[in-house]
Copies of this chain bind each other. A is one copy, B any other.
Amino acid sequence: MVASQLAAVLSKLQTLYSDHASVVSMNLFVALLCASIVIGHLLEENRWMNESITALAIGLCTGVVILLTSGGKSSRLLVFSEDLFFIYLLPPIIFNAGFSVKKKQFFRNFITIMLFGAVGTLISWSIISFGVIKFFKEMDIGSLEIGDFLAIGAIFAATDSVCTLQVLNQDETPLLYSLVFGEGVVNDATSVVLFNAIQSFDLTNTNHRIALEFIGSFLYLFLASTLLGVAVGLVSAYIIKTLYFGRHSTDREFALMMLMAYLSYIMAELFYLSGILTVFFCGIVMSHYTWHNVTESSRITSKHAFATLSFVCETFIFLHVGMDALDIETWKFVNDRPGTSIIVSSVLLALVMAGRAAFVFPLSFLSNLAHKSANEKISFRQQIIIWWAGLMRGAVSMALAYNQFTRAGHTQLRCNAIMITSTITVVLFSSVVFGLMTKPLIRFLLPHSKVTSEPSRSSSPKSITVPFLGSTQDSFEDSPKGVQQPSSIRALLTTPTHTVHYYWRKFDNAFMRPVFGGRGFVPFVPGSPAERSEHKLPQLQ
């Protein structure tokens, strides 16, 4: 996948970087990135705005200015390329998501997240596809085939995990964050897998065998990608633990972590797996093992450098989407009948909302059945927020839409142009409107969320409130208090995640950590000063 995409992005870029004007574009783009960061910072106290919307707005404004100064010819500095997005921008974001996710929460809700991310996306996809087939066939929007309709389903089933990260707060609403964000990552992978499957499968003669094959390939992709990510993460932990023990060098450690993380992503592409899932699980494993094997300064550096990289990539994406929204070429094609585009966008938005509602509430009900304690059940208000926070569509949708509808050169066909502009409309509308409404909605529905969550962590930026190494230290530390040792098979059935978690911790401490390092490798046993100092020595050297 990467290879053909790279060829495509390079041919696109080549047309751009052919004169001095491209240097101007690069300058302007980097300057805009700086401006987005500064303005996003200044608007931080604003309860409505977030950095994504700021970047989107700056992109839109720049687009308008360029459109006006260039006399309506072009609004773009760089052509949006799904390839640039998938190869360079997405991996750091998803890796950092895995690297900084609260693992305890994530794995405690693992089954629910999987339900939402895999089954839910399939439900959402089928509803959107079905609705699109039903509505669009009656409307006159050109020659779309069955494959196009299914692709539209996959395009709009992809939630925007990047935007979600900005709207929900890991410290304020940990359960919601882990559910919505975890779902988002699995959902991204599911959508991409679905999309590729639709493009490659022969859809003219659908039957049960193909459906089974499809499920089989999905499961294979999911498991293989996860295992690859875990394996690369473990190898990195083992290398750093074995070779660097006692004579640490921050530059080498951090370089190795960065390179291994990217290696996991391109290895997944090598084996035709889902790089998103791989790099996500690689991030989780690295933060659980590798991160604990490196020096103090490597920890601080890796934590912040990965977060910064991810932050810059996110800002880049939103800036780009904002600038791309005014692509005059595409809008010209739908200019003659603006009503159609509006109707198409509205239908798609409605389907997105319906498709998400169709799985959030039933699957939450199922999930609640499995949990006994009221603390872990998903309340109806929380369900509304989960439904709402996942309505945003973002760069993944854009990338997939461009892939599907601009393959034969530019958007020359009117139906393709309509789909592109509708996608842009849906992405802009959902990012801005749903994005703006999420924070107030959470305040309205869960007014006490700040109080019930961890104390003293207010809404100020992470790097201030959290001490240097805070946010990744919760891994599996304080869980024993909440976990009762299972007394019987019944307990295993009623509290499956807790039990799995319990046995995982035993296994982790007995086998994994002695080999791969991690917290167990540098145990802060209170009553054993000898061991502590012995283990702390390599850090202090």
Contacts and interface: CB of A to CB of B under 8 A. Distances in A.
A297 B305 CA distance: 10
A38 B251 contact: no
Interface residues of A, number: 69
Contact of A31 (B10, B263, B461): B263
Interface string A504-541: 00000000000000000000000000000000000001
Contact of A254 (B34, B297, B308): B308
Contacts of A315: 255
22 contacts: A3-B19, A4-B18, A10-B14, A24-B270, A27-B267, A30-B259, A30-B262, A30-B263, A34-B263, A37-B252, A41-B252, A44-B247, A249-B464, A250-B308, A251-B308, A255-B311, A255-B312, A259-B312, A297-B300, A297-B463, A301-B301, A304-B305
The list of the 7 closest CB pairs from A to B, nearest first, reads A6-B17, A250-B463, A301-B304, A249-B461, A305-B305, A10-B14, A254-B308
B23 A266 contact: yes
**Complex copy number for this chain:** 2
B24 A247 contact: no
Contacts of A38: 239, 243, 256
Contacts of A256: 34, 37-38
Given A252-B311, A255-B312, A263-B27, A464 B304 contact: no
Given A7-B14, A37-B256, A266 B30 contact: yes
B18 A3 contact: yes
A541 B258 CA distance: 29
User: Most B CB atoms within 10 A — which of A22, A41, A251, A254?
Assistant: A251
Contacts of A40: 252
A293 to B, nearest CB: 14
